[in-house]
Amino acid sequence: MVGPKYIRPSAPTTPAFKEADGWKVAQPSDQLPRGRWWEIYGDPDLNGLQEELAPANQNLRIAEARLREARAAVRFNRAALFPTISAGLGLSSVRESANQPFLPGGRSGSSSGDLLASIDLSYEIDLWGRVRRTVAAARREAEATAADLETASLSLHAELAFDYFALRAADAQKQLLDETVKAFEAALRLTTNRYEGGAAPRSDVAQAQTQLDTTRAQATDVTVQRAQLEHAIAILLGRPPAEFSLPPRPLDARPPDIPFGLPSQLLERRPDIAAAERRVAEANEQIGIAKAAYYPTLMLNASVGFEGSSFGNLLNASSLLWSVGAAITQTIFDAGRRRAVSEAARASYDATVAAYRQTTLTAFQQVEDNLAALRILEQESGQQRRAVESAQLSLQLFTNRYRGGVDTYLQVITAQTATLANQRTEIDILGRRMAASVLLVKALGGGWDTSQLPITDPPKR
């Protein structure tokens, strides 16, 4: 076989993740569960939705169909390793014209019949490995397509989890705003009573009414985001949005501890990296195919059959015919076509190597980004919890002082606004932490590794 032997190209790596400093490692430090990685969140509703996704999602069906197409291409190219045998049966009758040019006039036209039954064989001797490399390239593409299917599956399952936790965060925001509306209604009654008793000006009532109406509008606005997330989940599950709904349930989970392993393991755990590497191997085979075009092609041809003038003598021993032969062809001049194909194959190989390395770098970035996000957001969550507690205490103090006639209602309004803003921020941080944990699992490959790639090479004997 002419052409280069494949060697996996080097990929950028590092001994440790930069953002892992201060990260709490999961105990015991097990790998993510294969397949059902979303079970680490312990949410039965999420588990049920994830089980519906695989058989119903249309994008997964597209990826699965492309895998079947790639596997069929392997079988198609493998057929070239064997002879092609065809059978034919021909019947013809010919009558010659009596007025053919350059023949004596008056000659009567003659007629003849011909029956031919034959079996033909043709076979290309793969002297330089062109056919074998074509089969190998198809295998590498099938492996890459299988990894593409895993990438699509991982991305869609992660998108479902991402949307689910965002929807639960919206439920938490709605619950908070509904409870705040009730609190502001009580505050409005307080200011109204004080106004009617002559202890407060009418402006206090107007301020309390404004605060209540504003919060009601915010509570209504949250439902827009929730509806859109619910629709997105329905589409992921292959269902019309009108036929799908999720009962409200506020987000109350916390991100689980996620084992992330070593950076070197990431090359084996990301299906998109595996797909990129397999396409490098495929591009290497294309270089060998282009190189084989510089060498002669050897074809074997054979034919055996019977030819007669009628059905009566078709199968006579004298009607037997056969032929066996070989032909060698070599391109002498093609005006640089083979050189151009060879250069294009090498350029394609260089591009796939660069794509493989870029995919690896992107994977490292995604892991580092989400490790940093989880670590920093965990710290921010503690700070925000203290801010909420301080705001709630401040609101309680200003409300009591207002009841006692010490402060104006403007101080209560300011404390109410600060408390609500801090509570909403706390929920937002929790939602971002859950989203970052989902993205980290996705960045780590969701428990997948290259051992799950299908074996497309035939077993060696």
Max mean pLDDT range (20-24, 264-268, 320-324)? 320-324
pTM: predicted TM-score of the whole model, two decimal places? 0.87
Q: SS3 of 277, please?
A: helix
* Contact (CB, 8 A) for 411 and 398: yes
Residue 447: DSSP 8-state: T
Would you list the DSSP string of 204-261? HHHHHHHHHHHHHHHHHHHHHHHHHHHHHHHHHTT--GGG-----------PPP----
Say how many residues make up the chain.
461
Q: Is the pLDDT of residue 20 over 80?
A: no
| 18-83+128-295+337-452 CATH choice from 3.90.105.10, 1.20.1600.10, 3.30.70.1730, 1.10.3130.10 | 1.20.1600.10
pLDDT tens by residue, 324-372: 999 999 999 999 999 999 999 999 999 999 999 999 999 999 999 999 9
Q: Is the pLDDT of residue 429 over 90?
A: yes
pLDDT, mean of residues 81-100: 83
Q: What is the mean pLDDT of the chain?
A: 90
Q: Which has the higher per-residue pLDDT, 447 or 203?
A: 203
Q: Rounded to an integer, what distance in angstroms lies between the CA atom of residue 191 and that of residue 403?
A: 9
Residue 330: DSSP 8-state: -
Helix (H), strand (E) at residue 123: strand 111-125
Q: Rounded to an integer, what distance in angstroms lies between the CA atom of residue 154 and that of residue 37?
A: 10
The first and second tokens of residue 259, run together, are 């084992």
Q: Is the pLDDT of residue 407 over 80?
A: yes
pLDDT, mean of residues 209-232: 96
Q: Which of 185, 164, 135 is nearest to 46 (CA)?
A: 164
Q: Is the pLDDT of residue 111 over 80?
A: no
Whole-angstrom CA distances from 18 to 15, 365, 370, 439, 440 are 9, 10, 12, 17, 15
What integer pLDDT is reported at residue 30 of this predicted model?
Answer: 52
What integer pLDDT is reported at residue 92 of this predicted model?
Answer: 82
Q: Is the pLDDT of residue 232 over 50?
A: yes
Q: Rounded to an integer, what distance in angstroms lies between the CA atom of residue 74 and that of residue 457?
A: 10
Least reliable range by pLDDT among 2-16, 125-139, 170-184, 446-460: 446-460
What integer pLDDT is reported at residue 108 of this predicted model?
Answer: 59
Least reliable range by pLDDT among 45-49, 89-93, 115-119: 89-93
